[in-house]
Amino acid sequence: MKLPDLIATGWLEIRSHKMRSFLSVFAIAIGIATFFYTLSILSQRYRDIDRTAEVSGKGRLDTTVERPLSMDQYNQLLRMLPPQASLSFQTDEMFTSATYKGQILTGFFLQGLLPTWQDSAFVYQVEGRFFNWQDIKNKHRVALIVVYPREKEPRHISSVDSGPAGSVQLQDFIKHINLLNQSITISDQSFTVVGILRAPPVEKDFRAPEDQESMQKIFIPYTTWYDIAPRWWDSFSTRVRIVTGSEDKAARATSVLHSFLRQQFGPDFLPGIRLFRHQLDIYRQGAWHNLKAMIFIGLIAMIAGGIGIMNITMVVIFSRTREIGIRRALGASRLDILLQFLTEAMLLGLCGAAGGMVLGYLAVLHMANNTSQLTFSWWVVAASVLLALGTSFLFALYPAYEASKLRPVEALKYE
C-alpha cells in the first residue's frame, strides 16, 4: 500500500475506536506536555543565561579586596593587564542620608564608582550623563541616582531605615520628583545630580543576580567617595572587576591580578578571584538540575502511553486476524502488514504530540515566572514530535512484527 492509503486506513481505524484511541493519545499527550514544558523552560533559561553573559562582558573576573585601593594602584594594575582590558573599582556601600530643599531623604546607600563601571552589566538608560575621568581626577561633587520603572509587580528593593521624623524614603521621593541637575546635600556637602540611571523592567533585566541592586543607591565618583568618607575608611573594601574581552585573556588577567595583589599586600595575601564564566556554568547546571524531576515524570508518562499503544495494537491485530489473512491471500507482503499497523500507531503518537504541545504551551504560559520574554524554539517542537513518533514506533514494532508473521492459511481459519 502507498503511504496515503496507509494513513487513510489508519485514521479510519482510529475513528472507529474513539475511546480506545483517546486513552492512548491522552497518555502520550501528558508525556509530551511535560517534555514540551520542560524543554521550553530550559531553553528559555539557557537563552537568558546567554544574555547575561553578553551583558556582563566576555572574559570577566571579579574579586573583593578588604582594603581601599588608590588611583595610583589602579593605573599600575591597568598597565599590567592585557591590552584593551577594562578595569573597574567600586567602593563599599555606605548608608547615609541626603537633603533636598529642606527635605531629608533616607533609605539608600552611597557608593563610589569609576567610569569603567559601564563596561560590564550596564543595562541603564542614562538621562543626563555618566561620570568622566575629570570627575575622578578633580573629585567633583556629582552624583547619579538609580530610578526604577513602575511595574505591576515591583522588584524587591530593601529599605534600610525609616530615618528621622519627617524624612522620606529616596525610592518613593524620586518617583514623583526628577532630581536631574538639582543639588542635594550629602555629608554636609553639596552634590549636583548629573545623571539619572533608569533601570529596565525586571523581565528585561538580564544581569546576574549579584549585579542587580537589592537596595536603593546613589553613586558618586570613586575618589570623591573616599574624600568624604569617615576617618575609619581604611577598613573599607574595594570590589575589583576586570573585563578582558575574551575568555582566553581572562586566565592571563587572573594571574596578573593575583601577582599584583600579593605585591601590594604581601605574599600571604590570598585573593578570591572569581571567573564569571564559572558562575554561568553554575547557573546552567542549576537550571538543568531543577528540571530533571519533570523530565523523569514525562518519561514515565511516555512509557505508559507507549504500553497503551502496544496493547491497543495487539487488540487490533487480534480482532483483525482474518482481515490480515485475506490481505495476505490477495498478495499483500509482510512489509505491507507491518507498515499498516506501525502507521496506525504513529498516527496515535502524532495526535498525542499535537495535544501534548498545546497542553505544554498552556502550562508554560500559566506556570512560568516570566512570560513576557518567552520564546519557543522550533527544535523543541521537532523534538516533541519525534519523541512521540519514536515512542509509538518502538512500542508498536513488536505486535506489528508478529502480525506480519501470520500465515494466510492460519489467519483465514480464525473466526
Domain boundaries of the chain, sorted by first residue = 3-52+281-413, 60-243
Most confident residue range from 32-36, 188-192, 200-204: 188-192
Start-to-end C-alpha separation, the chain: 25
* 69, 75, 77, 117, 407 from 72: Cα distances, Å: 8, 5, 9, 18, 93
Contact call for residues 276 and 62 (beta carbons, < 8 A): yes
Contact call for residues 219 and 144 (beta carbons, < 8 A): yes
Q: Which whole number is the average pLDDT over 197-222?
A: 87
Q: Tell which residue, 248, 210, 216, has the closest CA to residue 62.
A: 210
- DSSP classification of residue 258: H
Q: What percent of the chain has pLDDT over 90?
A: 27
Grid coordinates 524543554 are at which residue?
A: 39
d(CA 211, CA 62): 11
Instruction: Give pLDDT tens digits for 231-280.
Output: 665 678 899 999 999 988 998 999 999 999 999 888 888 888 999 988 88
Confidence (pLDDT) at 372: 54
Between CA 139 and CA 134, with CA 221 as vertex, the angle to 5 degrees is 55
Grid coordinates 578595569 are at which residue?
A: 87
d(CA 342, CA 91): 68
Give the three-state DSSP class for 164: coil
Give the three-state DSSP class for 153: coil
Residue 405 in this model has a pLDDT that exceeds 60: yes
For the question of whether the overall pTM of this predicted structure is more than 0.75, the answer is no
Confidence (pLDDT) at 15: 67
d(CA 245, CA 254): 13
The 10 Å Cβ neighbour count of residue 158 is 11
d(CA 337, CA 25): 22
Q: What is the DSSP annotation of 348-372?
A: HHHHHHHHHHHHHHHHHHHH-S--T
| Long-range CB contacts (within 8 A, 24+) of 65-72 | 65/237, 65/238, 65/239, 65/240, 65/261, 65/265, 65/271, 66/237, 67/234, 67/236, 67/237, 67/238, 67/265, 68/226, 68/233, 68/234, 68/236, 68/237, 68/238, 69/238, 69/240, 71/136, 71/222, 71/223
Instruction: Give pLDDT tens digits for 290-299.
Output: 777 777 777 7
d(CA 388, CA 386): 5
Contact call for residues 341 and 313 (beta carbons, < 8 A): yes
The 10 Å Cβ neighbour count of residue 360 is 27
